[in-house]
Structure 1
């Protein structure tokens, strides 16, 4: 792995302190937000694997701002109606983003960028 490149898997990054810290931060976030519950695997079901995804966040001058690591489920092995009944991914469509930018431009509004690290709704 060349310097300043994003690793493809955990084995490439395991010696880097910056990537280890990013992984630790992700695990801490998962634990703090109670993202997962440990349950017994239902009969006939298969476990879903996990994969680390690494991304370098850069400043406008190209320098590294932050190392980000995400632990994602390999959901493509799921079967609809067997492993999952419903899928929901809260993402903004590019058309919506363009509309908001056009609306702001036509009204002279200021636009601010917000990088949301994680989004969880906590029940009270």
Structure 2
């Protein structure tokens, strides 16, 4: 007897690119949901392209998410930048990735509770 997850993995296919995904309504819905989320979160600002710059490309990455019982949860599409095409010193000079440790968040929350502070 096969599990429902095993059956789902064998019956659902994940497209490799936009062309094959665009043939299916559920993948088009997933792409639209991703674009809506990116716009709602103000992920980027549309600006005129300076003639002396190289534009970083993008591609769609598709995944199928399953519930723990193996049944299909949703189709997920992510628009990702192809940052590997950038050349250090030409396309960018500095990089910064703000990362916070979970232990730091726990300490701040603990201090807030202990001192009766409000958090925003």
TM score, norm. by length of structure 1: 0.64
Structure (1 or 2) with the greater helix fraction: 2
Mark the structure with the bigger radius of gyration: 2
Number of residue pairs matched? 94
Gaps of 5+ in 2: 1-9, 103-120
Deviation at 1:7, TM superposition (A): 0.7
Moved over 4 A (4+): 88-92
Residue 30 of structure 1 pairs with residue 60 of structure 2: no
CA RMSD of aligned residues (A): 2.4
Between 1 and 2, higher relative CO (CA 8 Å, sep ≥ 6) is seen in 2
- Over residues 56-92 of structure 1, what are the superposed CA-to-partner deviations in whole Å (9 max), with x where a residue is unaligned? 1112232211111011111111011221233345679
Gaps of 5+ in 1: 98-124
Deviation at 1:50, TM superposition (A): 1.1
